[in-house]
Amino acid sequence: MKIIKKDAKSIFTKTRLPGADFVINQYVGCEHNCKYCYAKFISRWKDYGEWGTWVEVKQNAPELVKGNYVKGEIFMSSISDAYQPIEKKFKLTRRILKNLDKRTKLSILTKSDLVLRDMDLFKKFKGISVGLTISGFEGQVKRMLEPGSSTHKQRLEALKTLNKNGINNYAFVSPIIPGLTDVKKIIREVKGFTDYFWFEVLNLRGAGEKFNNLLKKDFPNSYGIMTDRKKFIVFIEELKRIIKAEKIKTVGIEIHFPAWKTIKI
């Protein structure tokens, strides 16, 4: 893994992401190397090599948040994972949490059970929500699509531990891929220890041409549903039915076909 250390000029970036006003990206790039990652577009401006082989480290990020209170919702992180493996060494996320004004309304989303390390700091914030991305991928599918991230079981245990410690938490069920993601199973595994759900259907355009080709070759039925408007609509209607039947608290379903929108359940 290629590590690029840099000093940033600022760390709070305005965003159009739903539910957030600003994002914090103390890292750019991610060791999890999820093949469908939507943040790959950043590589156009970073001449470091193939996505998943490098991480840019904003080494002064903890100092940039100190004494700098920002009103609004802050999301961590949008083009990386705050708890990817190198966080064990650099501890940027932990140091940011120590320095961040505890009045900050903060949402963290990760695919790593390393998030449990910072439970002591989460408890100091008045408004914090910690989410785990739950894809449900296991075995060969997991190794193919999300090679560097925590396992499905580890993520479930992380949500359970957050819940036991009174930390507001959520399950981000994503990416939902027809034939690969068992949404009903995930809901029933998780709903006893999460505060709410957020669902997202795979964004084919965001996942990029390379992933599209992978899906078409190795999972042709999934690709067929994702690219056929009539089949996709049927799939979404069935997904809505499944979610509604479980009677859970949810933000909604994000879809990206033909354009981005959130469906309320």
Cα 229 from Cα 21, distance rounded (Å): 33
So what's the pLDDT on residue 258?
67
Cα 75 from Cα 32, distance rounded (Å): 19
User: What's the topology of domain 2-263?
Assistant: TIM Barrel (3.20.20)
Distances (CA, A) of 150 to 33, 81, 113, 114, 153: 12, 12, 6, 9, 8
So what's the pLDDT on residue 206?
93
Q: Kindly state the helix (H) or strand (E) to which residue 139 belongs, with its residue range.
A: helix 139-145
Query: Do residues 32 and 87 make contact, with C-beta atoms less than 8 angstroms apart?
Result: no
Mean pLDDT per 10-residue run, the chain (265 residues)? 96 92 97 95 88 96 94 95 98 98 97 98 96 98 97 98 98 98 98 97 94 97 96 96 96 85 79
Please report the sign of the dihedral spanned by the C-alpha atoms of residue 19, residue 25, residue 28, residue 30.
Answer: negative
Cα 234 from Cα 180, distance rounded (Å): 16
- Domain residue limits, the chain: 2-263
Query: Do residues 138 and 116 make contact, with C-beta atoms less than 8 angstroms apart?
Result: no
Cα 241 from Cα 256, distance rounded (Å): 19
Q: Kindly state the helix (H) or strand (E) to which residue 92 belongs, with its residue range.
A: helix 92-99
Average pLDDT over the chain, rounded to an integer: 95
Please report the sign of the dihedral spanned by the C-alpha atoms of residue 201, residue 205, residue 210, residue 214.
Answer: positive
Give the predicted TM-score (pTM) of the model: 0.95
So what's the pLDDT on residue 265?
74
Each residue's pLDDT tens digit, 106-161: 999 999 999 999 999 999 999 999 999 999 999 999 999 999 999 999 999 999 99
Residues paired with residue 56 on neighbouring β-strands, in sequence order: 4, 28
